[in-house]
Chain A
Amino acid sequence: MVLRAVGAEVREYRDRPEVTFSWRTRVAPAGPGDLPRIDSEEIPFRTVRDLAPPDEGFRVEVRVVRIAQRTVTVGEERRVVHEGLVADRTGPIALSSWSDFALQAGEAVRIAGGYVRSFRGRPQLVLDERANVIRVEGGDLPNPDQFLRSVPRTIAAIEDEGGGEAVAVEGIVVGLLPPSGLVYRCPTCNRSIKSGICRVHGQVEGQTDLRARIVLDDGTGALTINTGRTDTERLWGVTLDEARRRLRDQPDPSLLEESILETLLGRRLRVRGLGTKDDFGVTITPESIEAVEVDLDAAAEELSARFGEAK
């Protein structure tokens, strides 16, 4: 809807301009033709690092690091959202597009008309049908690989930065947090449920699932890795079906948790994914988890070299 307002006031609220209608303002319907034309060249360019919620009215030039579509339920409606990661020289930011711009991983684009919101404590660039996307050369934009194969950094550094879109760490498993092991989920919304009661859907027939909250420590700090069924099965070496069988044989869910810890404690893992931070520290939602096999001869040689000698 386009409106014409005469006598509106503009004031500043929290460092941002805000238009206020008052009793003096005359408001009337108008048409799209009445809108002033803003040349997109006039919209200022911003770097990704400077973006913070609730910014809007900017342009960015970014490389699409990855993009995938997902169907979500918004109220009653099922909608397709294109989610991914884009980056410029100053860093990456999550992207969520409610309109299909046929984005492809690896291409460089100039985006106008997006806005920034906070999603799970991290800034996210949101596009809808009003956004404008143009393909560009993007010669000075970073290579996507830089974010997909990030080199592990210290957990202390990731804590200091409050997480990150594509963080990589390597450490040793020192513990497990509850809930880990067999959990029950609501069949409708997939929320984890307690005593057969879903927070939204009330009494439901819970579906079993596996998860683990692994505490990874690299000597500089510790963080939590949330693994879903697939990663938990792979790391633990026990499938969901097997876990259910075990629970039938010995009806004590804490035995399953103990068994996961018994498998993982002291193991070295390299993890990459989205890192978010809250009061309890950093949590990683992993994209990849690998067990690291230490080459003992190489490790011994490297240590000896620090004493200025070859082994």
Chain B
Amino acid sequence: MALREPAWRVTTRELESALEEEKGEGDRAASYLLSPFGARMNRVLLAGTLTPPEPIGRDETQPFWRSRLTDPTGAIAVTAGSFQPRAMAQLRSSTAPRPAIVVGKVHLYRGRDGVGYVSVRAEGIRFVAEADERAVLADILRQTLDRLDLVERLEKDPATAEDLLRKDGLPGLWIRAARESLKRYPDVDRPAFRRELRSAIRRVAGDSGPVASTLPPPPSVTVSRAPPPKPSPPPPTAADRAEESMFLDHLDEIAEGAADGYADLKELLARVAAEGLVSDRAEAVLGRLEEEGVVEEPIVGKLRRAE
């Protein structure tokens, strides 16, 4: 029985530069993403600012949402689908960029052109106070520097005995990852990465500084693609407002009659469809109401009026 995969503390920059995969052997074997800086990741822990999500995918029975998490070194896509109902509910509750802590599994997608896109499929998301996000960022930076030190120590002296490293408190998992990083990324620019980590310390100290997303991407990054920003929707018309109020009337009625106080989404959609507000239009109304903070979906498929 395999032990639970640790959550590697990584910055978004390290994640987006991790393009080497390692597939485990046997049934249900975990796969790993190797970074140039000594991480061999299946699960990661991230801290940064999370934007409100946008829906992706066309299958309505398999909802899938994507946000972007920005930290002082860059940004990465964070996704959640129906297999991560809690994380998806958290993600969907977000209406404005907020500091967050994310635990999730790394995912590498290679496009037809061979370019890799790294994303994180969230298992747990918590929106937090800024101080909490900075505390986790401090942990991320400290462990990232520890791993870099280890990689460079092994580069200088590849024959360093494992016992010696373990005596310094370095786990076997890290040592193995560092050796593998050196092998797979022989020419990586570590000093440049160190400079980025160094400027990220300002964020820990409370100086929010220039947020990375407003900076032009540094030349070393060639691998990540930001989803294009959505054009802002046109202001709602009177007809839209009428649909919203009809939608809300039905929501209140169902919620009142329900034992748990929630309006069941399916039932609601069926009722509004009977009044001529069919699937796509109904989803659009729901999306608007959620965006405006009128309605929330704390549990998947269960709606209520936001407080």
CA distance A41 to B25 in the complex (A): 56
CA distance A265 to B101 in the complex (A): 8
Residues from chain A with Cβ under 8 Å of B138 in the complex: 294, 296, 299-300, 303
User: What is the interface of chain B mostly: helix, strand, loop, or mixed?
Assistant: mixed
- Inter-subunit contact A222/B139 (CB<8 Å): no
CA distance A277 to B43 in the complex (A): 22
CB distance from B132 to the nearest CB of A (A): 6
- Inter-subunit contact A252/B260 (CB<8 Å): yes
Other-chain contact of A296, B43, B101, B134, B171 (Cβ < 8 Å): B134
User: What is the interface of chain A mostly: helix, strand, loop, or mixed?
Assistant: mixed
- Inter-subunit contact B124/A296 (CB<8 Å): no
CA distance A303 to B145 in the complex (A): 9
CA distance A160 to B175 in the complex (A): 14
Q: How many residues of A contact B (CB 8 A)?
A: 43
Does A215 lie at the interface of the complex (its beta carbon under 8 Å from any beta carbon of B)? yes
Does B19 lie at the interface of the complex (its beta carbon under 8 Å from any beta carbon of A)? no
Residues from chain A with Cβ under 8 Å of B174 in the complex: 156, 220
Does A279 lie at the interface of the complex (its beta carbon under 8 Å from any beta carbon of B)? yes
Report the nearest B residue to A301, measured CB to CB: B205
Residues from chain B with Cβ under 8 Å of A311 in the complex: 201, 205
Residues from chain A with Cβ under 8 Å of B131 in the complex: 296
Report the nearest B residue to A159, measured CB to CB: B3
- Inter-subunit contact B169/A279 (CB<8 Å): no
A-B pairs under 8 A by CB, number: 121
Given A265-B126, A266-B101, A297-B205, the answer on whether A307 and B198 have CB atoms closer than 8 Å is yes
Does B135 lie at the interface of the complex (its beta carbon under 8 Å from any beta carbon of A)? yes
Of the 9-residue stretches B6-14, B65-73, B283-291, which lies at the interface with chain A?
Answer: B6-14
Q: Using CB atoms and an 8 Å cutoff, list the residues of chain B in contact with chain A.
A: 1, 3-9, 43, 45, 47, 86, 101, 103, 123-126, 128, 131-132, 134-136, 138-139, 141-143, 145, 169, 171-174, 194, 198, 201-202, 204-206, 259-261, 299
25 contacts between A and B (CB under 8 A): A153-B169, A155-B6, A172-B45, A172-B136, A174-B103, A175-B103, A219-B45, A219-B143, A220-B173, A221-B3, A221-B6, A221-B171, A252-B260, A252-B299, A266-B132, A280-B1, A281-B4, A296-B131, A296-B135, A296-B205, A300-B201, A303-B142, A303-B204, A304-B201, A311-B205
Residues from chain A with Cβ under 8 Å of B9 in the complex: 219
Other-chain contact of B126, A156, A262, A296 (Cβ < 8 Å): A262
Q: Residues 262-300 of chain A: 1 if any B CB is under 8 Å from the residue's CB, otherwise 0?
A: 100111100000000001110000000000001011011
Residues from chain A with Cβ under 8 Å of B143 in the complex: 219
Q: Which 9 A-B pairs have the closest CB atoms?
A: A156-B171, A266-B101, A300-B205, A294-B135, A299-B138, A279-B1, A220-B171, A265-B126, A300-B204
Given A296-B135, A296-B138, the answer on whether A217 and B101 have CB atoms closer than 8 Å is no
- Inter-subunit contact B205/A265 (CB<8 Å): no
CB distance from A193 to the nearest CB of B (A): 24
Chain A, range 112-169, C-beta contacts under 8 Å to B: 153-157, 159-160
Residues from chain B with Cβ under 8 Å of A302 in the complex: 142
- Inter-subunit contact B132/A154 (CB<8 Å): no
Chain A, range 48-83, C-beta contacts under 8 Å to B: none
Does A24 lie at the interface of the complex (its beta carbon under 8 Å from any beta carbon of B)? no
